[in-house]
């Protein structure tokens, strides 16, 4: 079945450490996105990529980095510069350039700083 | 910039009650509009969508109509079930080649009691 796989489901990080969240899709979508979800705040866009080897900052990119070396993969690194990294992280993908397209989401990774 | 405003929650209903969750959006451009649902500990699933004015999206008994004159996309269901308990997000798409890039409302928690 086609879909988006995020791993791990739960992740614990010590303060001062970088950590990388995985996102893989087999939907053949060109566009991929990372959102952060905090209670009562909805989802906020961190980074997005419309095509391989290209990505753009979203609304809250500070303290995060991404890469897009393959169409299927869009890993997110939460760096030690992110002051409040504990959150639920969601990866999504879509077909760019089509007005009626929706975003398809993975199951999320819950990151906790300990 | 683009924004989406949802009615504040949480919403608590008895089974078979009528549901309305209000959603308004900024009128920049002609966005596609979406309702997503999130069950506990999971990612987001598309519930319904509408891509132009007066379109009605519907799925699983839920409906929402794209109202350009009031910039609204309210979610309704005539008779809710316990299994509808979840968080509901209204979202608008961006324009141009970034249609899958979404701006979300803050989410509305729905609890349905037997």
| DSSP states along A19-85 | EEEEEEE-S--SEEEEEEE-TTS-EEEEEEEEETTEEEE-TT-TTEEE--SBTTB--EEE-TT-S--
Note whether A93 contacts B: Cβ–Cβ < 8 A.
yes
For B51, which residue in chain A has the nearest alpha carbon? A100
Query: What's the rounded Cα separation, in Å, for the pair A19 and B56?
Result: 42
Q: A45 or A2: whose pLDDT is higher?
A: A45
Of A4, A94, A107, the CB nearest to B42: A107
Query: What's the rounded Cα separation, in Å, for the pair B109 and B114?
Result: 17
Report CB contact under 8 Å: A43, B49.
no
Query: Which residues on A lie below 8 Å from B36 (Cβ)?
Result: 105
pLDDT of residue A27: 94
Cβ neighbors of B25 (< 8 A, separation 6 or more) are B2, B3, B4, B5, B31, B33, B71, B72, B73, B90, B92
B74 token code pair: 């309210």
Report CB contact under 8 Å: B101, A33.
yes
pLDDT of residue B98: 59
Q: Which residues pair with A70 in a beta bridge?
A: A73
**Beta-strand pair A109-113/A10-13:** parallel
Give the number of other CB atoms < 10 A from CB of residue B22.
16
Query: What's the rounded Cα separation, in Å, for the pair A89 and A113?
Result: 13
B28 token code pair: 């920049």
* A51-77 average pLDDT score: 96
Which of A23, A36, A43 to probe the B interface (max B CBs under 10 A)? A43
Query: What's the rounded Cα separation, in Å, for the pair A50 and A70?
Result: 12
Note whether A40 contacts B: Cβ–Cβ < 8 A.
yes
pLDDT of residue B7: 83
Note whether B89 contacts A: Cβ–Cβ < 8 A.
yes
Query: What's the rounded Cα separation, in Å, for the pair A66 and A91?
Result: 12
A41 token code pair: 């705040």
Of A35, A93, A97, the CB nearest to B97: A97
Q: Which residues pair with B49 in a beta bridge?
A: B34
Q: Is the pLDDT score of A2 beyond 80?
A: no
**Beta-strand pair B23-25/A109-113:** unpaired
Q: What are phi and psi of A54, to 5 degrees?
A: -145, 135
Q: Is the pLDDT score of B66 beyond 70?
A: yes
A49 token code pair: 């990529």
Note whether B57 contacts A: Cβ–Cβ < 8 A.
no
Whether the Cβ atoms of residue B46 and residue B36 lie closer than 8 Å to each other: yes
pLDDT of residue B96: 57
Distance from CA of A34 to the nearest CA of B (A): 10
Query: What's the rounded Cα separation, in Å, for the pair B36 and B51?
Result: 15
Q: Is the pLDDT score of B100 beyond 80?
A: no
* B61-81 average pLDDT score: 96
Which of A42, A54, A92, A98 to probe the B interface (max B CBs under 10 A)? A42
Report CB contact under 8 Å: A93, B100.
yes
Of B41, B43, B106, the CB nearest to A106: B43
């Amino acid at each position: 079945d086609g879909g988006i796989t995020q791993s791990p489901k739960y992740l614990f990080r010590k303060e001062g450490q970088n950590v990388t969240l995985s996102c893989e899709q087999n939907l053949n979508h060109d566009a991929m996105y990372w959102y952060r979800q905090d209670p009562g705040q909805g989802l906020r866009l961190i980074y997005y990529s419309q095509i391989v080897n290209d990505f753009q900052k979203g609304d809250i990119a500070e303290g995060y980095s991404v890469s897009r070396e393959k169409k299927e993969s869009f890993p997110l690194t939460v760096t030690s510069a992110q002051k409040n990294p504990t959150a639920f992280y969601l990866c999504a993908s879509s077909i760019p350039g089509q007005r009626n397209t929706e975003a398809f989401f993975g199951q999320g990774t819950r990151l906790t700083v300990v | 910039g683009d924004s989406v405003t949802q009615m504040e929650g949480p919403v608590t209903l008895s089974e078979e009650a009528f549901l309305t969750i209000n959603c308004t959006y900024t009128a920049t451009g002609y966005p596609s509009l979406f309702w997503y649902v999130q069950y506990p500990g999971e990612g987001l699933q598309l519930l319904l969508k509408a891509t132009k004015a007066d379109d009605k999206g519907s799925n699983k008994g839920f409906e929402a109509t794209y109202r350009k004159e009031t910039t609204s996309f309210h979610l309704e269901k005539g008779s809710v079930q316990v299994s509808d308990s979840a968080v509901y997000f209204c979202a608008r798409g961006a324009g141009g080649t970034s249609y899958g890039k979404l701006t979300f409302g803050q989410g509305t928690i729905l609890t349905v009691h037997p």
